[in-house]
Amino acid sequence: MHVINLRMHELRKLKELPIEDGVLNTEALMLILKRRSFPDKIERVFKYLDAQDDKSVMGKKLYTVTTLNQLDEYQEISELVIPDSIVYVNGSIGGFGIPLIPEHRNLGAIIHDEKVPLKVKLQYLEQLGIIIDKVERVRLPEIRFQFGDLNEFNFIIDRDNQLKSIDLDSAYLGIGEPLHMAYYLLKNQYVKSISEKYKSTNSGIIIPSDNTDLYCYNMILLSALSGENLYRYDIDTYYRYLDYIDKLGLPREVIQSFYNIYIPKNNINPREFIEDIDPSLEKQLAFSEFQKRKL
């Protein structure tokens, strides 16, 4: 890993990374690092955490970053943008340096943009499913990588139209207390009732697993199809919407993937069936259309 040393006066001169409209970043300050001394000549984004994270959280993130840098199995997954630098500010760890992806777009901004055709959204979500599948296929004796807080805003699209996973210092490697609960888990009151599937720590934090990552992925896909956050609705409304889109002709495998969310069966990755979704159904799939027809 690179070690980057900054003085506070140098930190104050760094420019913030431009963030697209609609993309929230509350965790850290993202700054652009331009250094001729980088051996690979690649500019980096400095994720400045020191002002917001306590020492225990920083220690967990440091463990995650250094471990991922030592494991070839994850380094070889090109879609993972793993922080490769530790940045010290006035002699103390201030955060991490991440290779800059130039001219990128945020997946979350695209998913929630009504002007972007469903066909385009589905192409990116198929890529997301492939990334999840690649990570799940890695089996190591002591370390198991989970995205944890898997949400659409933690993925970007590079100028070659390839999806990349960022914010990996917050990933979970299967050891100790998770840093936090995934956004989609935190917002859903029903998942904790399926404790045998979505296991919790003694403090009530749901432990990241293949099931939690795939739950989040399915919720992102549902959001793209329906134009609504379906984790906000009661289970009866959820399943009535699934029955509605089933009758529209969505692939049975995709419907089953959504169906599994609230039952004690392992969640499914529907990515190989996404190409079978007819994008011409975009208007009919909208949750607002479902609400009109059920009245």
Say how far residue 3 (Cα) sits from the centre of its chain.
26
Residue with tokens 């207390």: 177
Please state which architecture CATH assigns to domain 105-294: Orthogonal Bundle (1.10)
H/E element, 86: strand 85-89
For the 2-99 domain, the top CATH level (class) is alpha beta
Digit-by-digit pLDDT tens for the chain (295 residues) are: 888 888 898 888 888 888 776 666 556 788 888 765 566 667 888 888 865 556 778 888 999 999 999 999 999 999 999 999 899 899 888 889 998 898 899 999 999 999 999 999 999 999 999 999 999 999 898 888 999 999 999 999 999 999 999 989 999 998 888 888 888 998 888 998 899 999 999 888 999 999 999 999 999 999 999 999 999 999 999 999 999 999 999 999 999 999 999 999 999 999 999 999 999 999 999 999 999 876 5
pLDDT tens-digit map of 214-256: 999 999 999 999 999 999 999 999 999 999 999 999 999 999 9
Six-digit token string for 74 = 């994850």
Q: According to CATH, where is 1.10.510.10 located in the chain? A: 105-294
Burial of 85 (0-12, 13-18, 19+ CB in 10 A): buried
Looking at the DSSP bridge assignments, the partners of residue 228 are none
Half-sphere exposure of 245 (CA within 13 A, CB side): 28
Q: According to CATH, where is 3.30.200 located in the chain? A: 2-99
